[in-house]
Amino acid sequence: MTAALTITPPDHPLVGRVTPPGSKSITNRALLLAGLAKGTSRLSGALKSKDTSLMAAALRQMGVVVEEPDETSFIVTGAGFLAAPKEPLHLGNAGTAVRFLTAAVALCDGIVIVDGDEAMRKRPIGPLVTALKSLGIAASAPTGCPPVLIEGRGHFGSGRVEIDGGLSSQYVSALLMAAPFGEGAIDVALTGKDLDARGYVDLTVAAMNAFGASVSAVDHTTWRVAPTKYRASDFAIEPDASAATYLWAAAVLTRGSIDLGVSMDAFTQPDAQAAKFIRMFPKMPAQIDGSQMQDAVPTLAVLAAFNDTPVRFVGIANLRVKECDRINALATELNRIQPGLAREDGDDLVVNADPQLMHAARRNARTRIETYADHRIAMSFALAGLRIGGITILDPDCVGKTYPGYWDALRTLGVESQPQA
Catalytic residues: 295
Q: Mention every residue, 6+ apart, whose C-beta is less than 8 A from residue 408.
A: none
Which residues are registered as beta bridge partners of 394?
4
Backbone torsion region of residue 372, taken as left when φ is above 0, otherwise alpha when ψ lies between -120 and 50, otherwise beta: left
CB 316 within 8 A of CB 347: yes
Phi and psi at residue 156, in whole multiples of 5°?
Answer: -120, 15
Could you check whether the bond before residue 146 is cis, i.e. omega within 30 degrees of 0?
no
Cβ neighbors of 70 (< 8 A, separation 6 or more) are: none
Residue 203's region, left for phi above 0, alpha for psi from -120 to 50, else beta, is alpha
Say if residues 165 and 189 touch (Cβ distance below 8 Å).
no
Q: How far apart are CA 84 and CA 149, in angstroms?
A: 12
Helical H runs in 190-296? Answer: 198-210, 241-253, 274-280
Dihedral over alpha carbons 391, 394, 400, 406 (to 10 degrees): 10
192-197-201 Cα angle (round to 5): 95
Which strands form 89-90's sheet, in the order they lie side by side? 89-90, 109-115, 148-153, 138-140
**Alpha carbon 347 to its chain's center:** 20
Strand partners, 420: 4
Q: Select from 239, 61, 213, 229 the least CA-distant residue to 155.
A: 229
Q: How far is CA 403 from the centre of its chain?
A: 11
Burial pattern 72-105, b for ≥16 Cβ within 10 A else e, equals bbbbbbbeebbebbeebbbbbbbbbbbbbbbbbb
Cα torsion angle, 181, 186, 191, 197, sign: positive
